[in-house]
Structure 1
Amino acid sequence: MELQGNTVLIRPVRPGEAEILDRIVREPEVAAWWAPPEDYEGMLAVVLDGEAVGAAQYTQEDDPEFRHAGIDLFLTARVHGRGLGTDTVRTLARWLIQENGHHRLTIDPDAANAAAIRCYGKVGFKPVGVLRAHRLDHRTGQWQDGLLMDLLAHELR
């Protein structure tokens, strides 16, 4: 699978990229919101000009009664503020809706992550509610609230 966005390419993580992604996820600006994964198997590399600059992942609920998908991602701090997160989320969302038939997508950034919330809003995600004590912060051991956001297929921008 390879998904071409306006700027980024999204594809499976290749051999040798796990080390790059592990360095990125440990950057202070990224570590504030992400714990280092145990491994990067099943994750997708976010690639800019041939270089992995982050990773994305998705989940799918296939029960016909509750069918939907979820998205998550991180990018190296040196590309923050350039619209790459919006491009990544939009590209992955379009694929999940158009190619996988999902009518609703969810995303759950930390409630304090204003930049991520703005990014997701640009794609069409809307706040649904606060997920209290949603994520255990690996740095502090404290529970952090999350913001549940969703997007219906016809709302994708």
Structure 2
Amino acid sequence: MNQSERPAPTSAELLLIGGRAGVGKSTVGWEVSARLRTANVPHAVLFDGEVIGAIQFSEETDPEFRHAGIDIFLTAKRHGQGLGTDAVRTLARWLIHERGHHRLTIDPAADNTAAIRSYRKAGFKPVGIMRAYGRDYRTGGWADGLLMDLLADELA
């Protein structure tokens, strides 16, 4: 079963647990665990029993502006394997189907081309540059961010 055929997670709690169901990047079988319920708290991303990163979401609950945001990081040795895309896609599906969000955002550093490519694969689209948005850990200066969003019917 590929990612687009997989039913939306039905749990109301969040912990991403993955394992290879076959061969190829599109066969990661992510599940949403029944252990955590809290926004703005990092949740472990597990793959084949190994913690490979963290993912979290935030929610704007004002009905006039309701939406959710996603943040993720993966350990460097797991970059380029499609795991981040699959984890973001799984969380996005859960936020849309279980939490009722119609719009999601994600905001990578504007120069993080790998992350931007990954988020595009999940269906996110660039909205615009946020100037001097966050600290650049390498220089200590300010770095631009790219605001990206996804509408529920655009989920890849």
Same fold at TM > 0.5: yes
Give 3-state SS (helix, strand or coil) of 2:77's partner. Answer: helix
> Quick one: distance in 2 between partners of 1:155 and 1:8?
20
> Quick one: distance in 2 between partners of 1:75 and 1:108?
15
- Cα 1:9–1:74 change in 2 (3 A) is farther
Amino acid aligned to 1:66: F
Amino acid aligned to 1:46: V
1:151 matched to 2:150? The reply is yes
Q: Is the 8 A contact 1:4 1:10 kept in 2?
A: yes
Q: Which residue of 1 aligns with 2:118?
A: 119
Q: Is the 8 A contact 2:70 2:105 kept in 1?
A: yes
Amino acid aligned to 1:63: D
Runs of 4+ more than 6 Å apart: none
Q: Which residue of 2 aligns with 1:38?
A: none
Q: Which residue of 2 aligns with 1:36?
A: none
Number of residues paired by the alignment?
130
Q: Which residue of 2 aligns with 1:16?
A: none
**Distance apart, 1:149 and its partner CA:** 0.2
In proportion to residue count, which structure has more helix? 1
In structure 2, the gaps of 5 or more residues are 1-12, 19-27
> Quick one: distance in 2 between partners of 1:131 and 1:94?
26
Normalised by the length of structure 2, the TM-score is 0.77
> Quick one: distance in 1 between partners of 2:43 and 2:142?
27
Q: Is the 8 A contact 1:134 1:144 kept in 2?
A: yes
> Quick one: distance in 1 between partners of 2:74 and 2:31?
13
Identity over aligned pairs, percent: 64
Q: Where do residues 45-84 of structure 1 align in structure 2 (5 Å cutoff)? A: 45-84=44-83
Amino acid aligned to 2:74: L
Give 3-state SS (helix, strand or coil) of 1:141's partner. Answer: coil
Normalised by the length of structure 1, the TM-score is 0.77
Give 3-state SS (helix, strand or coil) of 1:86's partner. Answer: helix
